[in-house]
Amino acid sequence: MNFQRMRKFFSSPAAAAAFAVTLLLVVTALGFEIHGIWCEHAHTLPCWERVCGRPYAPPAAEHLLGTDYQGRSVLLRALAGTVPAFKVGAVAGLISVFLGLTLGVCAGFFGGRTDDIVVWIYSTFASMPTLLFILSFALLSGTSPQLRSFLEHFGSVLRIPPGALAVYLAIGITGWVGLCRVVRAETMKIRQMPYISAARIAGVGDLTIIRRHIVPNVRHLTIIYFTLNFGAAVMLEVLAGYLGLGGASGIPGWGGMIASGQERLWRGIWWELAASGTIMFILILALNLLGDSLRDALDPRS
C-alpha cells in the first residue's frame, strides 16, 4: 500500500477506529498468549484460571464484569478468548487465501479443462453445508491416526490442540470459494490485456507471466478477502465452540462461554454471556469495517 492509499485509508474515521480496535485486540491476544506460555514454564495458573472472588459475583468495582461459577474473572476470561479467535482467523484465513488465489488464477489464466475442474470443485464446496463439513472433519481427526499425528505435530508448534486445529483447518478449507470466483473472473480480464499478449510474443513463460503480471494485479483482492474471511472464521469457531467442537486447551473460548452463560441466563447471571458476546461483536465489527475500508483504498478502479 503506497502513501497515497494509506492516506486515503486513514482519512476515514471508521477505518482509523477499526484499525485501532483491531490492533488493540491483537496486542491483547499476544499478551495473553505470552502470559500463558510463561505460566506453563513457571507451573502456575494463568490469570484467567485464578479464583478471585465468590462464585457468580455480579459486576462491581472489584470485578468489572463479575465472576463465573468458580469465582474467576469473567473479564479476563473474555479477553483471553481473543487468543483462539486470532489463531483461527490467521490459520483459516491463510488457508482460504492460498487456495482461493491459486485455484482462481489457474482457472482464469489457463481456462479449458483446468477451468472446468476448478469450477466443479468450488461448486461442490459451495453446495456443501459448512457446519456439517467442519463436524465431519473434526470427527475424522479423532479416528484417523495419520491425520491426528499431523495435527498433533503442527498443533504443538502453534500451541493449538488437535481437535481445535482440525476445526481451524476445516474452516479454512471451506472459506476459499468466494475469493476463487472473484480472482478467476479478474484473471480472465487481465489475460486479455495487450501487455500479456506482448509478454507471450516475447517468449515469456506462463508461470513468469502469472508471477509478474497476474498475481500483483489481484493481490488487493487477497488482502480484502483475508480480512473478511478472518471475521467469518472467528464466527464459525465460536459456533463450533458453542456446539462443543474443538476448543483451545487451557484457554477459554467465546463459544464455550456463551454456551455456559446461556445455561445460567434464566437465573439472572447475564454477565458471562454479555462479556464474551460484546468482545466478539467488537472484533467482528472492526474487521468488517477494516475490510470495507481496505477495499475502497486498494481497489484500482476506485
Q: Nearest-CA neighbor of 140 among 132, 239, 253, 242?
A: 132
pTM for the structure as a whole: 0.87
The pLDDT, as a whole number, for residue 279 is: 94
All residue ranges of the chain with pLDDT < 50 are: none
pLDDT digits (tens, 9 = 90+) for 13-30: 888 899 999 999 999 999
The torsion region of residue 56 among left (phi > 0), alpha (psi -120 to 50) and beta comes to left
The pLDDT, as a whole number, for residue 184 is: 94
| Pick among 3.30.1360.70, 1.10.3720.10, 1.10.10.60, 3.40.50.1980: CATH of 8-298 | 1.10.3720.10
The pLDDT, as a whole number, for residue 206 is: 86
In the chain, alpha helices (H): 3-10, 13-42, 74-80, 82-110, 112-126, 130-143, 145-158, 162-174, 177-190, 194-201, 206-209, 215-242, 254-264, 271-298
The pLDDT, as a whole number, for residue 120 is: 94
Q: Nearest-CA neighbor of 53 among 37, 75, 35?
A: 75
Report domain extents, the chain: 8-298
- The answer to whether 35 and 57 are in contact (CB under 8 A) is no
Q: Residue 139 and residue 148: Cα distance in Å, rounded?
A: 10
The pLDDT, as a whole number, for residue 143 is: 73
CA distances from 7 to 3, 18, 204, 294 (A): 6, 15, 36, 12
- The answer to whether 162 and 141 are in contact (CB under 8 A) is yes
